[in-house]
Structure 1
Amino acid sequence: MAILDMSDFISLLGVHRFSVLFAVALVVRVLSRRYWTSIRDIPGPFFASFSSLWRVYHVCKGHTEEEIIKLHREHGDFVRIAENEVSVSHPDAVKQLLHANIAKGTFYSVFSLPDYHYVNQMSELDPTRHIQKTRNLSAGFSLSNIAKSEPYIDTVLKHLQTRLNELSDSGGPVEFQDWFSFFAFDVLGEVTFSKSFGFVRSGVDIRNAIANTGSLVYYISIIGYYVWFHNLTLGNPIFSRLGLQPNSHIFDTCLLAIDSRKKNPEIRHDMMQRWLDVRATHPDRITERDIFGAAVANIGAGAETVSATAQVVIYRLLQCPEYMKRAQDEIDAAQARGELSPLVQYNEAAKLPFLQACLKEAYRFHPAVAHSLPRIAPKGGITIAKRYFPEGVILSVHPWIIHRNPDIFGQDCDSFNPDRWLQGDTKKMDSFLIHWGAGYNQCPGRNLAQFELSKVLTTVLRDYEIEQIDPKKEWRFETRFLAVPYGWPCRIRRRQGVNLI
């Protein structure tokens, strides 16, 4: 048996001391994070109180919305979900946090695309600067400006009808998650750059833009908790110029669209032109970087939210044939009265009360944004539901838990029920719909989303009978930052007497 000499003994002792010191430091760090804080008494998962890995685990697991709903129903209005973050489900939080002009949590910084030099409305944390950006860009997002692009949106809608007619005739499977994304991307091309990207016409995911968007959302939902690391690596301008980020496809898509736009002699007063007009008049208020950042953010965020919501409406109507019949009967009656054009117009679809109720219920039941919306307690702190939180504590509101509150939306809030929006005074429920955010941080593209969803849903329900290929197979979705369903292929066939294209 070898005898341990003195040098080996000293080395072993050094390693042992280092291990002990590391273990002690780790325990001190855990205990200080968990207990050396004003929110130590708020219940929540033990692991979450000292490590962000708890949230990363649930992102990877794919259903953070289920976990947050379960925790609030177990613990009440306040759940500690991080060292310095509390999830708040009390209704007062919507007004006091989301409608107030207080700073957003650093998570939002990761939405600066393609790198941290391009601070858009989504990634701007300061409410004053955010409001200034909104004011500068609002002309492009206004409903009146979007309405001027309706003839061009109609062109995309006509192409979609053509492709769906082909699938109806061939009996091939229809993957609505693809076709609704194709439609939304092409609409964004028309209203932003005066030119469709060509997804619907080609029927394919051009340059894997949609697939890469899914990867980007996954990346964002995790790296948003480590923005410092993101800014050192993939969010760094060096990586942006080299095209090495997961969002490079959006960056490249916008560059190609802008280049094509410069060569287009039929430039309209699209969003880009509206923003350029503001810059020409007020060069001190908006920079070219602001305009490019807004365009990238518009393309990056504006398609999958529309696809998710459109899928919810169709899928839930298929789950309840009575609702499907009511929706199609309403549309058929409007068609018979001559109130629907061959290419459905927005002002026509907006007058269909049951369809609009289904759309609003989709916003409530399955909001596309499936992530907590963090705000930072302001100077002097804030009191919510008689609980005081000092300055600096992150307080977040999750759309899914607010939308599943029985005191607001009724005891059947866990069910898809469009009739809730057709009965009595719905103003209270309207004030708690936060699917597009709320206050100064509302999604700037919400008017466009409502516009295209109304048109495409009315068209699909008017023109086609839809059946799921396997009615027993439930769709799938994972709640990263977004909750976009997939995996429920359908077959369609043209409805007699109503398909006019």
Structure 2
Amino acid sequence: MLTFRLAVSACGLLVVARLVFFLIKSFTSPTRHIPGPLWARFTRLWYFRRVALGRFEHENIQLHQQYGPIVRLAPNMYSIDIPEAVNTVYGIGSKLPKSGWYDAWKHPSPDAWTMFPDKDIKRHAQTRRVFQGLYSMSSLVSYERYVDECADVLLNRLSLFSKSREPINMGHWFQCYAFDVIGNITFSKPFGFLDRGEDVSGLLQALHKILAYSTLIGIYSSLHPYIFAVANFFGVGGAAGRTYLAAYVKGRISQRKAEQARNEAKAVSTHTDGSPDDFLEKLMIKNKDAPSKVTDYHVFMMSMSNIIAGSDTTAISLSAILYYLIKHPHVMSKVREEVDLISDVGAHLSFKESLEMPYWQAVMKEALRLHPATGLPLWRTATKGGIELNGQFFPEGTSIGLNTWTAHYNKDVFGDDAAEFRPERWLEAEEEGGRKLAQMTAYYLPVSEPIC
């Protein structure tokens, strides 16, 4: 009985000691004056709950309008809206590593890593150098044929819907289109979403589980290894989704290796139809030429990243563009007029042709400004010696993040009408040139790889 009482007393003293330490640290920290919601000062549960509700991107904008350029979202976690800090925090030369939030975006194994959640600055930079050519504009343009093939299937499905006058869920069909495009670009084979109009092999569900799991568990990233192990064991949630997608990608890679072996034995080219090399083919060529530099794991990791990162962001962006075009008929009319002047009826609009359409370029920019694909701060950690931003010092270990929604609704950068859809703002800025255009371009971060 005495032993039990001593144990209880010890636990109580430990709790009190931790509370006292927390209070002393909170009220002596150089960040103690940073404003924010009351409960955000004491626990991450406030931030967790707001993210779980699913509209934090809008709330994040309101918080900065209420409290200013720096807002506390949780103990030691601060959202920023400082245009001058973008390069310091996210630039290629930045020394601020990714925070623990990114740990939940990868397999808990220390040997498993991918580009987006990689916290190793040196390795991330090396990987970028090795594979950046695969994402160059000339490389991306070479995939137009794969994109056009999927566009033809989508247009055919929409034509059938229009004839039958059935309502169309364009969000769903853009998701199907995006997945098939990424599949076609990566593996020269669409997943089949457009043909079937439904989730093929549970891939969409798997991806959605991964995104929801990683977004939320990342807030308590220290729990990720344990939650992942339990969820994976029972085959539920984001852990199961990640395992499923990984197995799918590995299967496609094994299938391609078998095809290559058969073709080599028969001295037959992989692409007998004259189509360009797909993403996987380019990876495997790099692997064959320099296996120590581009390993089998790199081939898997980059293929997996294409699917997870490429499909959802593409679908969101397409949905945003269509939404604003439908909501603003006069803008839709101007885009149609510009298309008619550039492209032959029935022909695919090429990337090169689209560059000759200034109004269409402005429409895309404006839609992705108002509805970027990412909706949370992308966290970085202050290193030894801390960092000062906008006159505020952040000590070592502090998490700092910029939400692209907050950046894109900044009135000092985009004007008092920043919340309005007005493509003309980009054309006006280009005509004026100078500081205004440079400022808008620098704070326009819809799908910026360095920020991720």
The TM-score with structure 2 as length reference comes to 0.87
Q: CA deviation at 1:93?
A: 1.6
- Residue by residue, what CA displacement relative to the aligned partner does 1:45-64 show, whole Å, maximum 9, x if unpaired? 22222311111100122111
Q: Which one scores higher on RCO, CA 8 angstroms, separation ≥ 6?
A: 1
* 1:378 pairs with 2:372: no
Q: CA deviation at 1:240?
A: 11
1:25-424 → structure 2 map (5 Å cutoff): 25=17, 27-28=19-20, 30-32=22-24, 34-99=26-91, 100-102=93-95, 103-113=97-107, 116-234=110-228, 245-264=240-259, 266-267=270-271, 269-335=277-343, 338=344, 342-423=347-428, 424=431
Q: Is the 8 A contact 1:108 1:123 kept in 2?
A: yes
Q: Partner of 1:232: helix, strand, or coil?
A: helix
Q: Which letter maps to 1:437?
A: S
Q: Which letter maps to 1:202?
A: R
**Structure 2 regions of 5+ residues with no counterpart?**
264-269
Q: CA deviation at 1:73?
A: 1.2
- Residue by residue, what CA displacement relative to the aligned partner does 1:461-492 show, whole Å, maximum 9, x if unpaired? xxxxxxxxxxxxxxxxxxxxxxxxxxxxxxxx
Q: Is the 8 A contact 1:112 1:118 kept in 2?
A: yes
* Alignment match, 2:446: 435
Q: CA deviation at 1:152?
A: 2.4
Question: How well do the aligned residues superpose, as a CA RMSD in angstroms?
Answer: 2.9
State the distance in 2 between where 1:236 and 1:117 align.
20
**Structure 1 regions of 5+ residues with no counterpart?**
1-6, 443-501
Q: Which letter maps to 1:349?
A: S
- Residue by residue, what CA displacement relative to the aligned partner does 1:430-482 show, whole Å, maximum 9, x if unpaired? 1111122353x55xxxxxxxxxxxxxxxxxxxxxxxxxxxxxxxxxxxxxxxx
Higher helix share: 2
State the distance in 1 between where 2:229 and 2:84 align.
35
Distance 1:26 1:67, change over 3 A: farther
State the distance in 1 between where 2:390 and 2:312 align.
35
State the distance in 2 between where 1:22 and 1:236 align.
29
Identity of counterpart residues, as a percentage?
29
Q: Is the 8 A contact 1:272 1:295 kept in 2?
A: yes
Q: CA deviation at 1:349?
A: 2.4
State the distance in 2 between where 1:203 and 1:431 align.
39
State the distance in 1 between where 2:184 and 2:108 align.
21
Q: Which letter maps to 2:130?
A: N
Q: Partner of 1:211: helix, strand, or coil?
A: helix
- Residue by residue, what CA displacement relative to the aligned partner does 1:20-62 show, whole Å, maximum 9, x if unpaired? 6476356436524533533112111222223111111001221
Q: Partner of 2:71: helix, strand, or coil?
A: strand
* Alignment match, 2:16: 24
The TM-score with structure 1 as length reference comes to 0.79
Q: Is the 8 A contact 1:156 1:187 kept in 2?
A: yes
State the distance in 2 between where 1:407 and 1:358 align.
21
State the distance in 2 between where 1:130 and 1:236 align.
29
Q: Partner of 1:86: helix, strand, or coil?
A: strand
Q: How many equivalent residue pairs?
A: 430
